[in-house]
């Protein structure tokens, strides 16, 4: 039966076993709903999985091949590319808009300029003197200014990095309820990043992660109670995980390996070593448990792929059409695609001597590093220095999901929304549309 309102709450890192510590979420399923495993499409990281859920197809079709990629024409790596136009497949935003269903999107990736009626996502202003000014992209124009007046700034410092905590999720819940009270959007996408942090720092089964589950559950309860307080009764909830974390005990450094093979070009300035992207024959853009290796000299593709074959912790090293086995035979992909074993992850480091690490390695800097750096969460707040010790990381995600421990969770408030014990991320779009009686 169609519903008037639907909340899709995206909680990366959520697993079915975590419901033991989440009474409000468990009650949502027990009342009249269902719980299923969520099988993510490779690569199992935020931007691709969100795109897969909202398009109903995988990265090879929608083009979001990671949390960032190398712009070959510009010679630059860009992470967390926010524009919706990068998604090359039809999206649920457009399908719902065509049916006159109003929509709100809170903090998803690749959302700027999407067809949703209301959008808020971080867009800090970076000044030439190094200052960062808090701000958010919003649609319609002026929406964030109104939120700012009533709720204060979105707490970006609590969204990622060493100060990441529940405050960013709490603000998002407040903002979603603020808008619901005024505009009543029917489809509401709400991003809860909170389970991402402690699992990477301490492991997905740590006491710290159990506490994070409890804190996230409190926010789920606040959201449900807030909707009820507004007198909205015909509402369904779909709580989905983007991936599950696994314990990791091995770190692999693809750029060091490419350097040692003479393929990655390193320049030294003022006693520090820098990766020269333009002049390298090959280099890796790492992303948790997978990487795109961009090989700019096509005669070296076989050699670049061969470097990683048989390496402990590397499950796949594929190039050319073979990348299609992992669903990544796309023009934005690296010429070689690497995927880890579940107990390993990839760090971007290219130096062997930590004294020669570039200065930005010891900072929180998503723009200079050619890949994701979870070690930023371990920054020493007294010295403002990020360690260069990748072994500190205890949990990761992104590898090919081939076992139950790599599956996330999907919790539905109404049994009819979900059938079966396992759902793929590409099935989520159909579930959304069916909740509104479409398709």
78 with 219, same domain: the answer is yes
Contact 34, 412 (CB under 8 A): yes
How many CB atoms are closer than 10 A to CB 31?
10
Give whole-number Cα distances, 196 to 39, 45, 171, 408, 428, in Å: 17, 11, 17, 13, 21
The Cα–Cα gap between 161 and 363 comes to 10
According to the model, what pLDDT value does residue 330 have?
Answer: 97
Alpha carbon separation from 176 to 20, 118, 142, 185 (Å, rounded): 26, 10, 16, 10
Burial (0-12, 13-18, 19+ Cβ within 10 Å), 393: buried
Asked if 280 and 176 sit in the same domain, the reply is no
Co-location of 184 and 297 in the same domain? no
Q: By C-alpha distance, which of 263, 100, 258 is closest to 187?
A: 100
What is the per-residue pLDDT for 439?
A: 73
Q: DSSP 3-state assignment of 282?
A: strand
Number of domains in the chain: 2
pTM: 0.96
Indicate whether 377 and 431 sit together in one domain. Answer: no
Q: Are residues 240 and 255 in the same domain?
A: no
In angstroms, what is the C-alpha Rg of the chain? Answer: 21
pLDDT for 30:
85
Cis peptide preceding 43, ω within 30 of 0: yes
Q: Which residues of the chain have pLDDT under 50?
A: none
Parent domain of 105? 5-245+401-435
Q: Is residue 380 located within the same domain as residue 408?
A: no
Q: What is the CATH number of the domain that holds 311?
A: 3.30.1360.110
Confidence at residue 316, expressed as pLDDT on a 0 to 100 scale: 98
Same domain, 386 and 408: no
Determine if the peptide bond prior to 270 is cis (ω within 30°). no
What was the pLDDT predicted at 161? 82
Tokens of 246: 């696994």
Residues 228 and 292 both lie in one domain: no
Both 385 and 417 in a single domain?
no
Domain of 106: which CATH number?
A: 3.40.720.10
Based on the fold, state whether residues 282 and 224 are members of the same structural domain: no
d(C-alpha 346, C-alpha 191), whole Å: 25
Residue 218: the pLDDT is 98
Do 429 and 338 fall into the same domain? no
d(CA 346, CA 48): 18
Local structure of 326: helix, strand or coil: helix
- The answer on 190 and 293 residing in a single domain is no
Q: What is the length of the chain?
A: 439
Q: What are the phi and psi torsion angles at 86 (to 5°)?
A: -70, -25
Per the CB < 8 A criterion, the answer to whether 264 and 258 are in contact is: yes
**Residue the block writes with tokens 């993510």:** 40
Nearest to 27 by CA among 191, 239, 211, 196: 239
Q: Strand pairing partners for 283?
A: 294
User: What was the pLDDT predicted at 29?
Assistant: 86
Cα→Cα distances 207→198, 257, 356, 390, Å: 9, 35, 36, 21
């Amino acid at each position: 039966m169609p519903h008037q309102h639907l909340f899709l709450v995206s909680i990366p890192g959520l697993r079915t076993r975590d419901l033991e510590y989440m009474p409000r979420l468990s009650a949502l399923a027990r009342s009249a709903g269902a719980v299923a495993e969520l099988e993510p499409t490779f690569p199992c990281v935020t931007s691709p999985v969100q795109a897969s859920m909202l398009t109903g197809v995988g990265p090879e079709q929608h083009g979001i091949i990671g949390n960032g990629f190398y712009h070959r024409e510009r010679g630059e790596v860009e992470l967390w590319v926010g524009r919706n136009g990068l998604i090359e497949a039809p999206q649920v935003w457009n399908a719902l808009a065509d049916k006159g269903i109003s929509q709100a999107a809170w903090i998803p990736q690749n959302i700027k300029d999407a067809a949703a009626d209301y959008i808020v996502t971080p867009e800090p202003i970076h000044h030439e003197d190094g200052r960062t000014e808090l701000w958010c992209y919003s649609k319609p124009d002026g929406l964030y200014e109104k939120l700012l007046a009533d709720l204060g700034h979105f707490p970006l410092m609590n969204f990622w990095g060493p100060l990441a905590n529940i405050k960013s999720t709490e603000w998002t819940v407040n903002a979603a309820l603020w808008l619901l009270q005024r505009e009543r959007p029917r489809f509401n996408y709400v991003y809860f990043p909170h389970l991402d942090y402690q699992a990477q720092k301490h492991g997905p089964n740590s006491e710290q992660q159990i506490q994070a589950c409890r804190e996230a559950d409190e926010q789920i309860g606040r959201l449900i109670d807030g909707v009820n307080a507004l007198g909205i009764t015909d509402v369904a909830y779909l709580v989905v995980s983007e991936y599950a974390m696994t314990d990791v005990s091995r770190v692999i450094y693809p750029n060091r390996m490419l350097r040692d093979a003479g393929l990655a070009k390193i320049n030294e300035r003022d006693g520090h070593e820098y990766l020269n992207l333009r002049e390298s024959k090959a280099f890796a853009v790492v992303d948790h448990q997978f990487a795109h290796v961009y090989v700019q000299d096509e005669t070296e593709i076989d050699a670049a792929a061969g470097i990683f074959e048989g390496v402990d912790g590397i499950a796949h090293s594929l190039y050319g059409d073979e990348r299609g086995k992992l669903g990544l035979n796309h023009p934005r992909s690296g010429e070689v695609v690497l995927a880890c074993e579940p107990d390993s992850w990839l760090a971007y480091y290219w130096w062997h001597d930590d004294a020669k690490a570039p200065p930005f390695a010891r900072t929180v800097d998503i723009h200079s590093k050619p890949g994701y750096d979870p070690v930023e969460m371990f920054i020493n707040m007294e010295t403002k220095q990020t360690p260069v010790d990748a072994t500190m990381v205890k949990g990761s995600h992104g590898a090919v999901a081939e076992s139950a421990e790599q599956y996330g969770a999907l919790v539905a408030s109404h049994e009819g929304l979900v059938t079966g014990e396992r759902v793929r991320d590409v099935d989520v779009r159909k579930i959304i549309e069916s909740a509104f009686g479409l398709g």
